[in-house]
Amino acid sequence: MARSWCSSRSSNVPALAHAPSLWLMLLLLVGLSDGQLQVGFYSKSCPDAESTVAAVIRQAGAADPTILPALLRLQFHDCFVRGCDGSVLIKGGNKNAEVDNNKHQGLRGLEVIEGAKTQVEAVCPGVVSCADIVVLAARDAVTFTGGPSFDVPTGRRDSKVSNLRDADALPDVHDGIDALRSKFRANGLDEKDLVLLTAAHTVGTTACFFLQDRLYNFPLPGGGRGSDPTIPPGFLSELKSRCAPGDFNTRLALDRGSEGVFDTSILRNIRNGFAVIGSDAALYNDTATVDVVDSYSGLLSNFFGPYFRQDFADAMVRMGRIGVITGSNGEVRKVCSKFN
């Protein structure tokens, strides 16, 4: 969750101003207690951490290319619930863990994160958090699907909490633009971040389960239910031919016609009415997000900006800072799926 900061006035402030050594010492203590994310956090304590994670992700992607978009989705599902703290990885025997929430329907890649953790533990036991592995895995998944290569700061600690109902706050495919904007703002992200992170759908697929309401049970303006009237007729027929009523398992590409390439095609599809899921289509229902979508989907943006690949990487880094636990807080789990 987004953190808020508050300030207060004190009659002691002028006195501190005349005691620079004490003031400096207080600042140093605050910095040490809070901890900081930084690129290369494990460069001394576990110098092979990032390359070890990358090797596991590369191997997993070679065996099953569909796991790479799933790992990208996994970071989103972790960070938007309680922050980027590895809480989504916890498995509860009583089905009350965060991952058991229906908002995490179809979530994959947890076993890949556990495999990376096992490899890292063999090299540097008790050093690298599962929360950091999730973020590193998502970064590597972007790169291995043809997206940008970028640095991510590390130094997160793992949460000691994982509750089923906490995941109710996740954005989902039924959300309109107001709900999406509200959920992103609650995590310190703006409309530009909303568009950029949604554009992660440039790779990957979705199950017909997530289209059933949009195709067959959508609330119509005049009353009753049917198909979302904003879907172009030809595209609607195409979607219905792939996802029959009651078909929950068939999968189709989120980025129609360009599902295997990391590019801005997903944004052009959204602009032209070919968004597959409702939450993607919602981006073209608000002036602020429409302007962002249009800015990246123009043919000249690759040459004159804005530059999608760099901005996407920056948005991923911003998302990776949501609600992090650092310093002496939390823990570094020995096994990602259970607390120490």
Q: Which residue, among 27, 129, 116, 127, has the nearest Cα to 85 in the 3D structure?
A: 129
The total of other beta-carbon atoms located within 10 Å of residue 28's CB is: 10
Catalytic residue among 18, 77, 104, 174: 77
Ligand-binding site membership of 87 (annotated): yes
How far, in Å, CA of 255 to CA of 267, rounded? 9
Q: Is 85 annotated as a binding residue?
A: yes
Residue 290 among known ligand-binding residues: no
Interatomic CA distance for residues 214 and 62, integer angstroms = 34
Q: Is 18 known to be catalytic?
A: no
- CB pairs under 8 A, 24+ apart, for 29-36? 32/327, 33/327, 33/328, 34/326, 34/327, 35/155, 35/157, 35/326, 35/327, 35/328, 35/329, 36/155, 36/326
Asked if 1 and 186 count as a contact pair (C-beta separation under 8 A), the reply is yes
d(CA 71, CA 73): 5
Q: Say which DSSP state 314 is in.
A: H
Residue 111 assigned to a binding site? no
DSSP 257: T
Element at 62 (helix H, strand E): helix 49-63
Q: What is the DSSP letter of 206?
A: E
193 annotated as a binding-site residue: no
| Residue 255 annotated as binding site | yes
Euclidean distance between CA atoms 300 and 218, whole angstroms:
36
CA gap 132, 148 in Å, rounded: 19
Query: Is 201 a known ligand-binding residue?
Result: yes
* 88 DSSP β-pair partners: none
Transcribe 10-43 into DSSP letters. Answer: -TTHHHHHT-HHHHHHHHHHHHHHH---BTTTTT
Tell me how far the alpha carbon of residue 189 is from its chain's centroid: 12
The pair of three-digit structure tokens given for residue 209, joined into one six-digit string: 């389960």
207 pairs with which residues across the strands? 251
Q: What residues are annotated to the active site? A: 77
Residue stretches of the annotated binding site? 78, 81, 83, 85, 87, 98, 171, 201-202, 255, 263
> Which residues belong to the annotated binding site for Ca(2+)?
78, 81, 83, 85, 87, 98, 202, 255, 263
Binding residues for substrate: 171
**Residue ranges at the known binding site for heme b:** 201
